[in-house]
Amino acid sequence: MAASPHTAAPPARFGVVIFPGSNCDADTHDAIETFAGAEGRYLWHKETRLDDLDCVILPGGFSYGDYLRSGAIARFSPLMEAVRRFAAEGGLVMGICNGFQVLLEAGLLPGAMQQNEKLKFICRLVSLKVENDQTPFTRRYRQGQVIQAPIAHHEGNYFIDEEGLAELEANGQVVLRYCDPEGEVTQEANPNGSLANIAGICNREGNVFGMMPHPERVCDALVGGTDGRGVFDSIIDSVRERSGR
């Protein structure tokens, strides 16, 4: 990404990680660049300098082929060490699909992913209920709002032990749940067997967020909808507010 020719600072600078096997990096980058003034910079998995960034996104794909377990190998890349520090200092980190799996494996988010209940890859539009509209990633949505975004994964069956789940619920860390189009969180609306229909969670501090559905795929009405824009808009708002830009 070339430096912006303007002197005014951009409203938000995103880093989009490329692990070997990432395949939604370009989609995510495209989505970011459709937002007025937002900048996206690709981050090769061996890079370690993130200090020019406001938000790091780990995109979807099959890092290292998803061999062994999704995200298991990617989490050891030099970049992830930097992401850990970046998050510890309060930087915004979001994992989408495979990126979410990497964050789980890295321990930046609690829990683990198993194979989908029916053992099949699923790609379809699903309904999601926004359970927490106070995070830096969801503030543009309303509590209880139902949005539509596609999932495309083989291992999105979220698991955490009982204690962990109670903690997530108590702290409002469950951010998105699979629901029916009316917003009811039902078993039938659960596409992959995820515990408590969980589709997205954040860490306790709220600055690290992972979701299985793909918001970057629903930022343009021509190709499926615009419900995903709220995620990026929320991040931009949060960055503006923090930096006073």
Partner 1 sequence: MKAKVYITPKAGILDPQGLTIERSLPALGFEGVSNVRVGKYIELELPDGEGAGESLERMCRKLLANPIIEDFEYELIEE
Partner 2 sequence: MSNTTGQDTGQKPAYELLGLTAGEYRGICERMGREPNYVELAVFSLMWSEHCGYKHSRPLLGRLPTEGERILQGPGENAGIVDIGGGLAVAMKIESHNHPSAIEPFQGAATGIGGIVRDIFAMGARPVANLDPLHFGSLDKPRQRFLLDGVVEGIAAYGNCMGIPTVAGEIHFEDAYEDNCLINVMCVGLVRQEDIIRARATGPGNLVVLIGSSTGRDGIGGASILASAEFDETAEEKRPTVQVGNPFMEKKLLEACLEMRDKGLLVALQDLGAGGLSSSSSEMASKGGTGIDIDIARVPLREPDMEPFEIMISESQERMLAVVEPSREAEVMAVCEKWDLDATVVGKVTDTGRLRVFDGDEPIADMPVKALVDEAPTYVVEPRRPEHERDQPLPEDHYPQPEDLGRVLLDLLASPNVCSKRWVYEQYDHMVQTDNALWPGGDAAVLRIKGRRDGIALTSDGNGRRTFLDPRRGGRAVVAEAARNLSCVGAEPLAITNCLNFGNPEKGPIYYQFQQAVEGMAEACEALGTPVTGGNVSFYNESFGQAVYPNPVVGMLGLVEDTGRLGTHRFQNAGDLILLAGDARPAADGSEYQLTVHGEVAGRIPDVDLEGERRLQALVRRAVREGLAASAHDISDGGLACCIAESAIEGGLGAAVDLEALAGGARDGLRPDLLLFGEVSGLVVLSAAPAAARRLQEEAGDVPLAVIGEVGGDRLTFTGAGGPAIDVPLAAAADAWQNALERRMAP
Q: Name which of partner 2, partner 1, none residue 24 binds, using a CB cut-off of 5 to 8 Å depending on partner kind.
A: partner 2
Q: Name which of partner 2, partner 1, none residue 245 binds, using a CB cut-off of 5 to 8 Å depending on partner kind.
A: none
Q: For residues 227 and 234, give the distance between their C-alpha atoms in angstroms, rounded to a whole number.
A: 12
Is residue 49 at the binding interface for partner 1, with CB under 8 A as the rule?
no
Between residue 89 and residue 108, which ones bind partner 1 under the rule CB under 8 A?
105
Q: Which residues pair with 179 in a beta bridge?
A: 127
Which of 16, 83, 92, 112 is the binder for partner 1 (CB under 8 A)? 112
Which of 22, 28, 116, 173 is the binder for partner 1 (CB under 8 A)? 116
Encoded amino acid at 104, one letter: L
Cα dihedral 151, 157, 161, 166 in deg (nearest 10): 30
Q: Which residues bind partner 2 (CB under 8 A)?
A: 20-21, 23-24, 26-27, 30-31, 60-62, 64-67, 120-124, 150, 152, 154, 214, 216-217, 220, 222-224
Is residue 39 at the binding interface for partner 1, with CB under 8 A as the rule?
no
DSSP 87: H
Among 30-38, 67-75, 144-152, 234-242, the segment contacting partner 1 (CB under 8 A): 67-75
Is residue 73 at the binding interface for partner 1, with CB under 8 A as the rule?
yes
Among 114-122, 167-175, 211-219, 228-236, the segment contacting partner 1 (CB under 8 A): 114-122
> If you search the block for the tokens 């596409």, which residue do you land on?
191
Which residues are part of the catalytic machinery?
A: 97, 214, 216
Q: For residues 229 and 242, give the distance between their C-alpha atoms in angstroms, rounded to a whole number.
A: 20
Q: Which residues pair with 159 in a beta bridge?
A: 112
Q: Which residues pair with 16 in a beta bridge?
A: 42, 57
Which helix (DSSP H) or strand (DSSP E) does residue 113 occupy? strand 112-114
Q: Name which of partner 1, partner 2, none residue 117 binds, using a CB cut-off of 5 to 8 Å depending on partner kind.
A: partner 1
Q: Are 243 and 144 in contact (CB under 8 A)?
A: no
In sign, the C-alpha dihedral spanning 129, 133, 138, 141 is positive
Residues that bind partner 1 (CB under 8 A): 64-65, 67-69, 72-73, 76-77, 105, 111-112, 114-119, 157, 159-161, 193
